[in-house]
Amino acid sequence: MPSRLSDAIIRLHPDFTSLQELPESYAWNQRDDIDYPSFDSSAESVPIIDLNDPNALQNIGHACRTWGVFQVINHGVSTTLLDMVESTSRTLFSLPVNQKLKAARSPDGVSGYGFARISSFFSKLMWSEGFTIVGSPDEHFRQLWPHDYTNHCDVIKEYKQEMKKLAGRLMCLMLGSLGITAKQDIKWAGPKSEFKEASAALQLNYYPACPDPDRAMGLAAHTDSTLLTILYQNSTSGLQVLKEGVGWIKVSPVPDGLVINVGDLMHILSNGSYPSVLHRAMVNRTRHRLSIAYLYGPPSSVKISPHPKLVGPTHPPLYRPITWNEYLDTKAKYFNKALSWVRVCVPLNGLVDVNEHNNSVKVG
Ligand SMILES: C=C1C[C@]23C[C@@]1(O)CC[C@H]2[C@@]12CCC[C@@](C)(C(=O)O1)[C@H]2[C@@H]3C(=O)O
Ligand SMILES: O=C(O)CCC(=O)C(=O)O
Ligand SMILES: [Fe+2]
């Protein structure tokens, strides 16, 4: 096969398992990524917070301010369910490429199988496959497993339910540590602070073992466009977070632990007190890696803005109000600069957009 054609097929049909060498299209030798030193967890490590600890709220506040990420244990999600969702994801990514492509994400769609959405911002390809689930998994799972999709659908539905409960609990703790009471101060939290109307997406990520991991990139550095993200990772390490003034720090998998990322919308809501965390996924020479991200945000009609309790004469609002969809559109256009597009600056005589031309950008 002529190499340009085979390269094009690899681009569209990534059958990583058959590759013995890293194709140039996957070699990030120029490091299109942000270059900072990397450290393993012995240098400094992401806080691990026990949700049964009476100091959990304070610990979460400290972790959000200083890291933008933490791991939780004793979170109430059963090991059995975590094992089941891992097994469903593994079964999905083990399907033949042609079968997976039956559920390919359409160019203007959000759900389905494909490369990471952020791929278009990079000249090199990422060593990963993804499957995004927004709403019900039924339709796409029927395409993948025409005869036995129901069990897999049930696992995903139960997982989403459990994640929604945990995300609501984490919202109360994160907001509580900012002095915001969900019940009184966040209308859309509802009377029982359950955040029932929240929206979410589930992202399954698969990183096959890679013949040249030092030159490859699993998922390039990004922040999540969420309020918060709950990430389950299997026992293979690969996730790294950027700690300001230090460098890339490994987030070592903890048995039954879940990684919680502060997302861009929480950054806005907290008026910058809880900065969203820049993170990336590296790959491994001998072991594949799986991760499952629950991306959590507000109901579609809700505009997120710096909370009134956090703004005042000496703390002006740093961001303008924006819905999740509007923010996702901004991210799709400006990627890691999206947050600064939403930022306002404070001249002596009032507030204006940092990007005055930004006012004419159509979002939503
Ligand atoms: C809700 C969403 C967040 C996300 C875009 C999406 O519509 C569904 C996939 C999400 C994901 C997962 C991998 C990293 C990321 C940057 C991407 O390319 O797709 C995030 C998006 C995001 O947080 O902006
Ligand atoms: O695989 C990982 O550890 C990171 C995944 C991730 O960042 C995402 O899905 O947004
Ligand atoms: Fe992410």
Write the pLDDT tens digit of every residue in 152-173. 999 999 999 999 999 999 999 9
**Structure tokens belonging to residue 14:** 């990534």
Residues labelled catalytic: 289
> What is the atom index within ligand 1 of the atom nearest the CA of 203?
12
With a cut of 70, say whether residue 201 has pLDDT above it.
yes
**Predicted pLDDT at 352:** 52
**Predicted pLDDT at 108:** 85
| Domains in the chain: ranges and CATH | 44-346 (2.60.120.330)
**Predicted pLDDT at 171:** 98
Cβ–Cβ < 8 Å for 286, 209: yes
Query: Residue range 13-21: average pLDDT?
Result: 71
Q: Is the CB of 64 under 6 A from ligand 1?
A: no
How many C-beta atoms surround the C-beta of residue 111 within 10 A?
19
> What is the atom index within ligand 2 of the atom nearest the CA of 279?
7
Query: Residue range 302-322: average pLDDT?
Result: 97
Return d(Cα 308, Cα 347) in angstroms, integer. Answer: 20
**Predicted pLDDT at 33:** 56
Please, which pLDDT band fits residue 121 given cuts at 50, 70 and 90?
very high
Which of 203, 252, 280 for mutating ligand 2's site (highest number of atoms within 8 Å of CB)? Answer: 203
Query: Residue range 193-200: average pLDDT?
Result: 96
Lowest mean pLDDT among 17-31, 40-54, 83-97, 259-273: 17-31
**Predicted pLDDT at 9:** 40
291 C-alpha vs ligand 2 centroid, how far in Å?
A: 6
Cβ–Cβ < 8 Å for 92, 204: yes
Q: Look up residue 14 and give its amino acid.
A: P
Query: Which residues does a 6 A CB cutoff place in the pocket of ligand 2?
Result: 203, 205, 219, 224, 231, 233, 238-239, 279, 281, 291, 293
With a cut of 80, say whether residue 31 has pLDDT above it.
no
**Predicted pLDDT at 346:** 61
Q: Look up residue 287 and give its amino acid.
A: R
Closest Cα to atom 9 of ligand 2: 293
96 C-alpha vs ligand 2 centroid, how far in Å?
A: 23
With a cut of 70, say whether residue 251 has pLDDT above it.
yes
Q: What ipTM does the predicted assembly reach?
A: 0.99
Which candidate, 75, 40, 41, 43, places its Cα nearest to that of 60?
A: 75
> What is the atom index within ligand 2 of the atom nearest the CA of 295?
10
Mean pLDDT of all residues in the chain?
89
Query: Residue range 132-161: average pLDDT?
Result: 97
Query: Residue range 45-67: average pLDDT?
Result: 98
Please name every residue paired with 129 in a beta bridge, in sequence order, or none if there are none: 206
**Structure tokens belonging to residue 58:** 């304070």
Q: Is the CB of 203 under 6 A from ligand 1?
A: yes
With a cut of 80, say whether residue 189 has pLDDT above it.
yes
> What is the atom index within ligand 2 of the atom nearest the CA of 218?
1
The C-alpha R_g of the chain, in whole angstroms, comes to: 20
First to last CA, the chain: 43
Which of 33, 295, 328, 336 for mutating ligand 1's site (highest number of atoms within 8 Å of CB)? Answer: 295
Q: Is the CB of 88 under 6 A from ligand 1?
A: no
Kindly report the three-state secondary structure assignment for every residue of the chain: CCHHHHHHHHHHCCCHHHCCCCCHHHCCCCCCCCCCCEECCCCCCCCEEECCCCCHHHHHHHHHHHCCEEEEECCCCCHHHHHHHHHHHHHHHCCCHHHHHHHECCCCCCCEEECCHHHHHCCCCCCCEEEEECCCCHHHHHHHCCCCCHHHHHHHHHHHHHHHHHHHHHHHHHHHCCCCCHHHHCHHHCCCCCCCCCEEEEEEEEECCCCCHHHCCCEEEECCCCCEEEEEECCCCCEEEEECCCEEEECCCCCCCEEEEECHHHHHHCCCCCCCCCEEECCCCCCCEEEEEEEEECCCCCCECCCHHHCECCECCCECCECHHHHHHHHHHHHHHHHHHHEEECCCCCCEECCHHHHHCCCC
**Predicted pLDDT at 112:** 97
Which of 33, 223, 224, 268 for mutating ligand 1's site (highest number of atoms within 8 Å of CB)? Answer: 224
Lowest mean pLDDT among 13-22, 169-178, 203-212: 13-22
52 C-alpha vs ligand 1 centroid, how far in Å?
A: 30
Residues in the chain: 364
Query: Residue range 50-54: average pLDDT?
Result: 98
222 C-alpha vs ligand 1 centroid, how far in Å?
A: 9
Q: Between these two residues, 248 and 5, which has the higher pLDDT value?
A: 248
